């Protein structure tokens, strides 16, 4: 028997309250509430790709693969939190995000329940944090301090094409951490596309949120049904795109649903779009996948970019079309600094500057050799 989760507004975010004893018709109600399906033009995008063959690592609170909408979609990875498992509060947020990425629905023709952006993709669940409200959050052992960094590396080493991180604060610091940044660059070098939520305190502190702010991560903000940026969505210069993030229906627990607001949901959907692209263009670099998502947007700001909208509202169909244009045999690799945001190379974090400087020096030496060789050949001819 399904349980309906009724929304309650609290401090600008929506949480769920269980109403047990509701019939399976709630699966149909859940599907009807997925307004993002049309906003992202998913029915049209699914004619081109459903994410088959792509592995999306969900670095979160764990994913409950027993939910009917996630049947046969989840592979369980390690628990890196260093905390005991609380049966009553385990995997709620992670299950919700996984359903938005790769939910299959259920029932006749899978017409009930939540369907994700990439319903044919596979989810690799890696537990790196605990659910809000879990009393064990305040009793975490030191071993879980770098769980996110370890989780990113684990996902990259175990075949993740896309890594979805609908979380913030990293190891507890709003400044980020060197191990996490190094893990991000490691995963990108392995070919993984990293996506994270921009943060949910845009209407208050508007803090820089990690892992979204790490160079190379696709940071995602949230919009409402009218495609306006939600008040809570962080406005920062690292925001890449925005996506639906209010009144979002998700799976919850093992047999229920909930409705919620947040940039977490928006990021999960963009991770799904990345999976759609990777299924069709498996050799497209992380940089070009990001570029396709940014070029394939609606409601683009007048000057091309803004701290609120990023490059615009994500759109699955337009992103796939942009990927078609970018996936050319003679595709030019990204220049050094391509993963370091919109600004000039002078804005590169100090920890990455030596690497970029070395790459630029190498390019200069190679260019000089080409010119010298060209001149020698000209002398030989004459």
Residues identified as active-site: 60, 93, 264
> From the centroid of its chain, how far is CA 163?
6
Strand, helix or coil at 352? coil
Q: What are phi and psi of 7, to 5 degrees?
A: -80, 145
| Torsion from C-alpha of 359, 362, 363, 367, nearest 10 degrees | 180
HEC states along 107-142?
A: CHHHCEEEECCCCCCEEEEEECCCCCCCHHHHHCCH
Token output for 296 = 């394939």
Q: Name, in order, each residue with C-beta under 8 angstroms of 361's C-beta and a sequence gap of 6 or more.
A: none
Helices (H), the chain: 26-32, 36-39, 42-45, 92-102, 147-157, 178-189, 263-280, 286-295, 316-326, 353-381
Tokens at residue 50, please?
Answer: 């459903």
Q: Cα separation of 258 and 7, whole Å?
A: 7
């Amino acid at each position: 028997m399904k349980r309906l989760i009724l929304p309650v507004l609290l401090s600008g975010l929506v949480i769920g309250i269980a109403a047990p004893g509701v019939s399976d018709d709630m699966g149909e109600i859940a599907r009807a509430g997925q307004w993002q399906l049309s906003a992202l033009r998913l029915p049209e995008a699914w004619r081109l790709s459903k994410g088959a063959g792509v592995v999306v690592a969900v670095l979160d609170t764990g994913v409950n693969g027993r939910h009917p909408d996630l049947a046969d979609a989840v592979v369980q990875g390690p628990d890196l939190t260093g905390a005991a498992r609380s049966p009553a509060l385990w995997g709620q947020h992670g299950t919700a995000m996984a359903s938005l990425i790769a939910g299959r629905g259920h029932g006749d023709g899978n017409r009930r329940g939540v369907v994700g952006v990439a319903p044919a993709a596979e989810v690799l669940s890696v537990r790196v944090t605990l659910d809000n409200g879990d009393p064990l959050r305040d009793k975490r052992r030191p071993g879980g301090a770098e769980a996110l960094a370890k989780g990113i590396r684990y996902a990259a080493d175990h075949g993740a094409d896309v890594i979805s991180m609908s979380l913030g604060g990293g190891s507890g610091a709003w400044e980020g951490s060197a191990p996490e940044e190094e893990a991000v660059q490691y995963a990108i070098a392995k070919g993984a596309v990293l996506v994270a939520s921009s943060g949910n305190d845009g209407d208050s502190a508007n803090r820089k949120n990690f892992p979204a702010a790490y160079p190379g991560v696709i940071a995602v903000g949230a919009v409402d049904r009218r495609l306006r940026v939600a008040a809570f969505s962080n406005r920062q210069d690292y925001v890449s795109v925005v996506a639906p993030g209010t009144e979002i229906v998700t799976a919850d627990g093992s047999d229920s649903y909930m409705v919620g607001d947040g940039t977490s949901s928006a990021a999960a959907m963009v991770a799904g779009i990345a999976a759609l692209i990777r299924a069709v263009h498996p050799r497209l670099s992380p940089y070009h996948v990001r570029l396709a998502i940014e070029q394939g947007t609606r409601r683009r700001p007048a000057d091309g970019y803004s701290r609120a909208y990023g490059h615009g509202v994500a759109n699955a169909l337009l992103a796939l079309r942009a990927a078609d244009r970018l996936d050319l045999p003679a595709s030019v690799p990204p220049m050094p600094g391509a993963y370091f945001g919109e600004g000039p190379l002078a804005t590169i974090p100090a920890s990455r500057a030596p690497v970029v400087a070395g790459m630029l020096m190498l390019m200069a030496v190679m260019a000089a050799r080409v010119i010298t060789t060209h001149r020698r050949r000209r002398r030989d001819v004459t």
